[in-house]
Amino acid sequence: MTQADPFLNLLIVLFKDLERWDVKFFKSRLNCKYQLRRLEPFIEEHNEKEKLFEFPETTFRILGVNNIGGIFHAYDTLGKKINQAYKKVDSGDLVYNPYRVNVGSIGIVSEELGGNFISPAYVVFSVDKSRMVPKLLELILKSKWYNPLLRSATAGSVRQNLTFHLLGTLEIPLPPLQAQQAIVEKWQKAQSEIETIKKGMENIKTDIDNLFLKDLGLTVPLQTTPPKVFTIWWKDFLRWSVSYNQASQSGIDITKGKYPVVELGTVVDMIQYGTSEKANSSGIGTPIIRMNNIIDGVLNLSALKHIQLREAERRKLLLKKGDILFNRTNSKELVGKCAVFDGTGDYIFASYLIRVRVDVAKVYPDYLAYVINSPLGRQQIDALSRQIIGQANINSEELRSFEIPLPPLETQ
């Protein structure tokens, strides 16, 4: 039995229940209508490794695990390029990253990926399917409500680590097998419904994008994939880049619309990089907007970090309503996303973002942000962005060169 006083932050544990000398363990205990069962009797580790380097000319499929898609095909490589023994995984096995399982890096090996190999740094185990549904265990370990208990089992002074032994000490609520299956089927049905809704939303978004182009007097090109072989006049060769010139050949011809085309630099008053100073999670200082706060063209101002700066520097970075925040560095798919700031109070922005403040006598901020997020902007972002160590980047000068159709303000 445990008792917690929310005002004194006092935790009382009877000595007979003192299983381990660990405050975080007792603070995360669960109350549940189902019996809590220790995982150890239900799971079995698979620690066997194979020396792939003994087959130097054989190509092996190497898997990975992350907190988004679970188990995935990471890359293919020859045995001679692998300098350590790797673990072989079978379909139905569960695999997790012992240093990142607390943020959801766990998954089940699919039938398609079974029989391949994964780094020995990962923990591989199977579940006794006669008593436990593997998918239910995965859902529990990835859930937010269970995360405090999972974190309580980790150990380590610098990096928190969940070994297989510590995994076995965890307790989970375990309904009868039939009830477990019913829970999983209900979850799977909900996921199917979510995917249907997402597809519907994508169709609506496509219709809106096409209507937007139509209003500008533009049409979507019939060719949607860039040509592998193409020619271009030297006078039209503005940049030494295959992707840039592919886009000019296969993308939307922005010059054929109803309205004049201008460079973004001619309609803005300010383009500014954010701060690279380290932020904190303690709520001290000014809230700072980072690239992860831009979601689907809108700023999400929840779960912000804070930062302490000298007052002069802080004032230079304070956002004003109508400022556009542009993500200059991210993955190829996410670089270039932007959103208009319309919050109240003091906020500043991080270094991976560029603040664009427009001349409101020439352009409406929400219109410009929509253009950048639309297929018109996307084709220019894909053409201009440069890959730097796995990340795509667009600098302020490239951003200034963005071309936008400029209708009258009332039309915008």
The full DSSP string for 339-395 is EE----S--EEBTTEEEEEE-TTT--HHHHHHHHHSHHHHHHHHHH-EEETTEEE--
Q: Inform me whether the pLDDT recorded for 96 exceeds 60.
A: yes
On whether residue 412 sits in a domain, the answer given is: no
Number of domains in the chain: 4
Residue 323 inside a domain? The answer is: yes
Establish if 83 belongs to a structural domain. yes
Q: What is the pLDDT of residue 198?
A: 94
- Residue 379 domain-assigned? yes
pLDDT of residue 248: 58
Instruction: Tell me: do 281 and 345 sit in the same domain.
Output: yes
Q: Are residues 105 and 187 in the same domain?
A: no
Q: Would 343 be classed as within a structural domain? A: yes
Instruction: Kindly report the number of other CB atoms within 10 A of residue 328's CB atom.
Output: 23
**Lowest model confidence (mean pLDDT) among 26-35, 112-121, 184-193, 256-265:** 26-35
Whole-number percent of the chain with pLDDT over 90: 66
Q: What is the DSSP letter of 285?
A: S
- pLDDT of 302: 85
294 and 319 share a domain? yes
191 pLDDT above the threshold of 90: yes
**Domain of 11?**
2-31
pLDDT tens-digit map of 130-183: 999 999 999 999 999 999 889 888 887 667 899 999 999 999 999 999 999 999
Q: Looking at the structure, do residues 150 and 228 belong to the same domain, yes or no?
A: no
Residue 234 has pLDDT above 80, yes or no: no
pLDDT at 235: 65
CATH number at residue 48: 3.90.220.20
Do 85 and 141 lie in one domain? The reply is yes
Best CA proximity match to 269, nearest among 342, 191, 356, 329: 356
* Residue 246 shares a structural domain with residue 310: yes
For residue 310, what are the contacts with CB-CB under 8 A and spacing of at least 6? Answer: none
Which pLDDT score, from 0 to 100, does residue 35 have? 86
97-111, 134-148, 246-260, 349-363: least confidently modelled range: 246-260
pLDDT for residue 50: 94
Q: Are residues 55 and 96 in the same domain?
A: yes
Residue 245 lies inside a defined structural domain of this protein:
yes
Q: Which residue has the higher pLDDT, 384 or 367?
A: 367
Does residue 410 sit within a domain? no
Residues 338 and 305 reside in one and the same domain: yes
The verdict on 391 and 277 lying in the same domain is: yes
Residue 388 burial (C-beta neighbours within 10 Å; 0-12, 13-18, 19+): exposed
Together in a domain, 210 and 224: no
Task: Output the average pLDDT for the chain.
Answer: 87
Q: Tokens 């201009």 map to which residue?
A: 384
According to DSSP H, which parts of 41-93 are helical? none
Asked if 46 and 59 sit in the same domain, the reply is: yes
Query: Global pTM?
Result: 0.66
Tell me which DSSP letter residue 87 carries.
E
Position 24 pLDDT exceeds 60: no
Q: Are residues 44 and 168 in the same domain?
A: yes
